[in-house]
Structure 1
Amino acid sequence: MKENTYLQRLLAEFLGTAFLVFLGVGSIPATLMLQKTGKTSFTMADLGVIAFAFAMVVVAAVFAIGHVSGCHINPAVTLALAATGRIPRREVAGYVLSQCAGAVAGAGAVVAVLGARAVHLGLGVASYTSPTSASQAFFAEALGTFILVFVVFGVVDQRAPGGFAGLPIGFAVFAIAVAVGPVTGAALNPARTLGPMLVSGPAGGPVDWSQLPVYLGAQVLGGLLAGQVYMAMNRLRTIAA
C-alpha cells in the first residue's frame, strides 16, 4: 500500500496550519476593521462570525489534507495521538515544528493582506483580561482543548462512520469558540497561540508573553487528557465465546 512521504505530510501540516491562522485568526482583525469604531471588543454576532470562520477552515482543511497527513494542524492533537500510540513518536517533532512554522506564515499573511492596522488591532493574539484569572483561563483552555481533541479521537476511531470527519470537528470548534471565546479567545491550539504572538510582538503589537505558559500548558494538558480518557472509555474487552 502506497502512502505519502514524511516530507509530504509535513508540508501538508504546514499549509493546513497556515490556512487555519490566515482565515481563522485573520477573521478577528478583519471583523474589528469592519466595525470602523476603533474598539477591540466584540458583540456576540462578531464572535459568531469569527467562530464560523474557524469552523469552516477546519472543515475544509480536514477534507483537503486529512488523507495526506491526518490534518492535525494542532500540536495538542499530535501530542495526544503520539501519547496513545496512534502515530509514531519519532514524527512528533517534525509535525509540531511544521505546524508552528505554518502558524507564523499564516499570521504573516494576515499582516500582508490587512496591513499594519491588523497588528494594531491585536492580530488575533489570544489573551485574557481582568476579571479573568490565570487559573480560570487555564481551565477554560484545557477544557476547550479537551473537548476538541476528544471529538478528534472519536471521528478517527475505525468504528466511526467514515467520509465526513471534518463536519463534527468543525461543529466542535464553532461551539467551543462561542463558549470559551469570551474568556480566553478559545485558542485551543499551541501553534495558533504562538504564531500570531511571534509576528505581532516584533511588529509592536500588544502581546503579553507572561500568558503564553498558561495557554500552552492548558492546551497540551487538555489534549493529553482527552486522548487518555477516550482510549480508556473505548478500550474493548475480549468476550469469551
Structure 2
Amino acid sequence: METKTITKFSAEFFGTLVLVLMGCGSAVIAGANGTSGVGLLGISFAFGLSVVAMAYAIGHISGCHINPAISIGMVVAGRMKMSEAFIYIIAQILGAIAGAAILFIIASGKDGYSLSSNGLGQNGFGASSPQGYNMLAGFIAETIFTFIFLLVIFGSTSTKNIHGGFAGLSIGLSLVLIHIVGIPVTGVSVNPARSIGPALLVGGAAISQLWLFILAPILGSILSAVFWRYLLERE
C-alpha cells in the first residue's frame, strides 16, 4: 500500500523538528555550560544521533530526508519526483521552525538567557563563525560537506548495498564526522531547513547570511547526485 502524502509530510515535519530541537538544543542548552558542557563532540553526536533515531523511526514512512538538500539530491539522482520533493521541503522547513520555537521556549526558562547573545544554534560566517572563518571558507565547507554527506546517503541506501539495514547508522555517523570538523567553521548546516528555523527566530546576521546555508548545501547535493548517478552507480 502506498503511503499517503499527509503521512509522509507529518513524518518529515516531525523528523526535522527533532533534528533542530535536539541538535541545536545540544549547543544552546548543553554545549557551553562550563565544566558540565558537552562540548564540540557532544554537539556533533547530538546531530548524528538525531538522524539515527529518526531514520529508524520514520525511515520506512518517508525515507527520513529531514533535509531539503537530500530531497533535491534525490530528484537529481532520479530517485524522487520533484512534486513530492516540494511537499517534503515545505514539511522540513515548517518542522525546523517548530523545533527552533520549542527550543527558544525551553531556553528562555533559564534566567540570563538572551536570544541575541545565546542564540538558537544558528549558522554563520565571518564575525558569526564560531572561530572566525570567512565567507569563502564557509561556502566551500558547506558545499563539500554536503557533497560527502549525500554520497554516503546514496551509497547506504542503494539497492546494491547488502548492508542496507545499517543505512541509518552510517548516515548518522557521517553527520557526526562532518560536525566534528565543521562546527568551528560555520556551526555546520548541510541542511537549509536546519539553518532556516533558528535564523528566522534569531534574525539579524543569521538572516542576512542565510543565503549561504541555503545555496551551498543545495549546490553540494546536486553535485553529489550527478557524481553518484553518472559516475559511481553507472552501469
TM-score (norm 2): 0.90
Partner SS, residue 158 of structure 1: coil
Q: How does 1:218-237 map to 2 (within 5 A)?
A: 218-237=216-235
Alignment of 1:124 with 2:117, yes or no, is: no
The answer for unaligned runs of 5 or more in structure 2 is none
Alignment of 1:47 with 2:45, yes or no, is: no
Identity of aligned residues (%): 36
- Contact 2:67-2:89 within 8 A present in 1 as well: yes
Partner SS, residue 102 of structure 1: helix
- Contact 1:107-1:199 within 8 A present in 2 as well: yes
Give the direction of change, closer, same or farther, for the CA distance of 1:24–1:118 in structure 2 (3 Å limit): farther
Quote the offset at 1:32 in angstroms.
4.5
Quote the offset at 1:209 in angstroms.
2.5
Aligned to 1:142: 143
Q: In the aligned structure 2, how far is the partner of 1:52 from the partner of 1:30?
A: 15
Q: How does 1:31-42 map to 2 (within 5 A)?
A: 31-32=30-31, 34-35=33-34
What amino acid is aligned across from residue 121 of structure 1 in structure 2? N
What amino acid is aligned across from residue 62 of structure 1 in structure 2? A
Give the direction of change, closer, same or farther, for the CA distance of 1:175–1:25 in structure 2 (3 Å limit): same
Aligned to 2:196: 194
Quote the offset at 1:216 in angstroms.
1.1
Partner SS, residue 218 of structure 1: helix
What amino acid is aligned across from residue 151 of structure 2 in structure 1? F
Mean Cα deviation higher: 94-103 or 111-120 = 111-120
- Contact 2:200-2:207 within 8 A present in 1 as well: no
Quote the offset at 1:158 in angstroms.
0.3
Q: How does 1:80-95 map to 2 (within 5 A)?
A: 80-95=73-88
Q: In the aligned structure 1, how far is the partner of 2:151 from the partner of 2:144?
A: 10
Aligned to 2:153: 152
Aligned to 1:97: 90
Partner SS, residue 174 of structure 1: helix
Q: In the aligned structure 1, how far is the partner of 2:35 from the partner of 2:106?
A: 18
Mean Cα deviation higher: 114-123 or 60-69 = 114-123
Give the direction of change, closer, same or farther, for the CA distance of 1:118–1:83 in structure 2 (3 Å limit): farther
- Contact 1:29-1:123 within 8 A present in 2 as well: yes
Q: In the aligned structure 1, how far is the partner of 2:140 from the partner of 2:69?
A: 15
- The structure in which a higher percent of residues are helix is 2
Computing the radius of gyration over CA atoms, which structure comes out larger, 1 or 2? 1
Alignment of 1:60 with 2:53, yes or no, is: yes
- Contact 2:123-2:206 within 8 A present in 1 as well: no
Q: Aligned pairs, how many?
A: 226
RMSD of equivalent CA atoms: 1.9
- Contact 1:144-1:188 within 8 A present in 2 as well: yes
Quote the offset at 1:112 in angstroms.
1.7
Partner SS, residue 208 of structure 1: helix
Quote the offset at 1:47 in angstroms.
0.6
> 1:143-172, CA deviations, whole angstroms, 9 ceiling, x for partnerless residues?
111111111111110011221211111110
The answer for unaligned runs of 5 or more in structure 1 is none
Q: In the aligned structure 2, how far is the partner of 1:49 from the partner of 1:128?
A: 22
- Contact 1:79-1:223 within 8 A present in 2 as well: yes
